[in-house]
């Protein structure tokens, strides 16, 4: 623990995804004080045509009270 899931559109290279996972792991270990072995990171690709139904609705708008960083698009646009 912790486990971080990143949902993104398809098209990023494996190298880009691995670099992001490494950066997330580094931040988690540095900021939260966990060891590297405690952190897991998943990348879930979601097609743009499915983003609203699979991500924006349930994960963003549906959990707006839990968001620490809001998107700059859609009804919740406008900051932290």
**Tens digit of each residue's pLDDT (9 = 90 or more) over 26-67:** 999 999 999 999 999 999 999 999 999 999 999 999 999 999
- As a CATH number, domain 3-66 is 3.30.429.10
pLDDT score for 77: 86
Query: CA 13, 47, 64, 80 torsion: positive or negative?
Result: positive
CA dist 7 and 54 (Å) reads 10
The residues carrying an active-site annotation are: 2
pTM for this entry: 0.90
């Amino acid at each position: 623990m912790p486990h971080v899931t990143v949902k993104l559109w398809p098209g990023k290279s494996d190298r880009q995804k691995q670099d992001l996972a490494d950066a997330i792991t580094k931040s988690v270990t540095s900021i939260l004080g966990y060891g590297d072995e405690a952190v897991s990171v998943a990348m879930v690709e979601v097609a743009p045509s499915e983003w609203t139904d699979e991500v924006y609705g349930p994960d963003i708008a549906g959990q707006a009270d839990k968001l620490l960083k809001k998107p700059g698009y859609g009804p919740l646009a406008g900051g932290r």
